[in-house]
Amino acid sequence: MKVLLPIIILLAAAVLVGIQLKLKPEPDTVAIERPITNVEIITAQPTSIQLTVHSQGTLLPTIETDLSAEVTGRVIEVADSFRVGNRFRKGDILLVIDPADYEAAAAARESELANAELALAQERAQAEQAAADWQALGDGEPSELTLRKPQLKQAQALVTSAQAALKKAQRDLDRTKIIAPYDGIVLSKQVDLGQFVSANPANPLARIYSTLSAEVRLPITEQEVEFLDRRTKRQHFVTLTRQNDASNTRWIARLARVEENINPSNRLLYVVAEIKEPFEGSAQQPALRRGTYLKAEIEGRSVQNAYTLPRYALRGSNTLYVLNKENKLQTRTVEILKSDSKQVIIGEGLQPGERIAISPIAYYVEGMPVEVIETASETAKTQSKARPPMFAPTSKADPSLNLVSGRSPTLQNSTN
């Protein structure tokens, strides 16, 4: 009995606990409702967009020339325009080398030519006389020596040689004057009045450059090259501006070429913009100077049915949050054509009229419901204060990105 008593007590306690648990009332189930996130959206519409590529470079003349003496002598005259930074015109005499020795050489060559021509005339007369004598007295075929043909040929060669020597002497005499080959500016010079110069290309007299045109080499990436329109023959242009220029003066240059070589040091390509007469100022545009640092906006190809969004609409590198008809968020991967710190151009991945969430979302869940903040007055305010787009649309219609929010993103766009 003493052994069974503890067992009976434990069984009774277990029965009582079971009865209590069974009779315990069920707790009420309370559904936890997740708060709906308020989001701002943009309704995107496709538009035609003119892509641009931004770069920078240094203005340098298209033509720079080292002037070298072609004859030896002492400099006896220097033009006032032959000073560093001075301008000169095509055909101007920049400096003169003492021509006395070359004048004497030219006179000697003229004398030699006169003697050769006299000898030729005499030999012709003798050849004619020899031919007449043979016809009167000779028998058979005369030899060339009898008819003085070798002597006549020698006399003709001497005249030709004397003429060539005279031309060379005259060229040397002309080369004592260093004449400007084009309109330009003196960049540097190494000679002055009284200095002895020699005909050595390794020791140039001066370095000059032409003012007719200049070029700017603009570095771009391999990806940016694809933004350029290289499939058509239409002339494209580059807008140039000076850095920190309060007047915001613009120069329009021609896109001359794309260099097909990649620089191994920086892995960049270069496009070359050519501008006509940049060193000649006007009332509308001041003159540029050699070495001016310029910013460039390169005209690219036109893209049809593209979408422009503010940069902060992207989630990651190429993802957007798109609202479906039930106002639930869905992740969408898109094709990014071009982007900068403020805007992004999307080529594929969106449909006209789709709504993109632009508000920051701390905890994103695929398919989460959201509530759209709709404020028409804020939409109008945003459109009126939006800045001009970096990627200029080719149409001038109404903005295609309709903001529906209480916050104003910085963008502006247009539709066809």
| Tens-digit pLDDT profile for residues 180-200 | 999 999 999 999 999 999 999
Residue 27's pLDDT is what? 67
Instruction: Return the residue matching tokens 């990105």.
Output: 401
CA distance 278 to 354: 48
Which is more confidently placed, 233 or 3? 233
pLDDT tens digits for range 204-254: 999 999 999 999 999 999 888 888 887 777 888 999 999 888 888 899 999
pLDDT at site 381: 37
Q: Which pLDDT band holds residue 137 (cuts at 50, 70, 90)?
A: confident
**Which ranges constitute the DSSP H helices of 58-99?**
none
CA distance 74 to 197: 6
Q: Are 246 and 239 in contact (CB under 8 A)?
A: no
User: In DSSP terms, which residues pair with 241 in a beta bridge?
Assistant: 250, 295
Residue 392 has a pLDDT of 45
End-to-end CA distance of the chain: 102
Residue 400 pLDDT exceeds 60: no
- Mean pLDDT along residues 30-54: 82
- 404: nearest Cα among 354, 361, 330: 354
In whole angstroms, give the CA distance from residue 85 to residue 69. Answer: 21
Q: Are the beta carbons of 334 and 44 closer than 8 angstroms?
A: no
Of the candidates 276, 268, 165, the residue with the CA atom closest to the CA atom of residue 219: 268
* Range scoring the smallest mean pLDDT among 102-106, 296-300, 333-337, 403-407: 403-407
- What's the length of the chain? 416
pLDDT band at 383 (very low <50, low <70, confident <90, very high): very low
pLDDT for 241: 93
Residue corresponding to tokens 């309060």: 246
The answer to whether 76 and 96 have CB atoms below 8 angstroms apart is yes
Q: Identify the helix (H) or strand (E) that includes residue 94.
A: strand 93-97
**Distance (Å, whole) CA 32 – CA 143:** 131
Q: What is the pTM of this model?
A: 0.69
Least trusted range by pLDDT, from 15-29, 71-85, 303-317, 334-348: 15-29
CB 148 within 8 A of CB 60: no
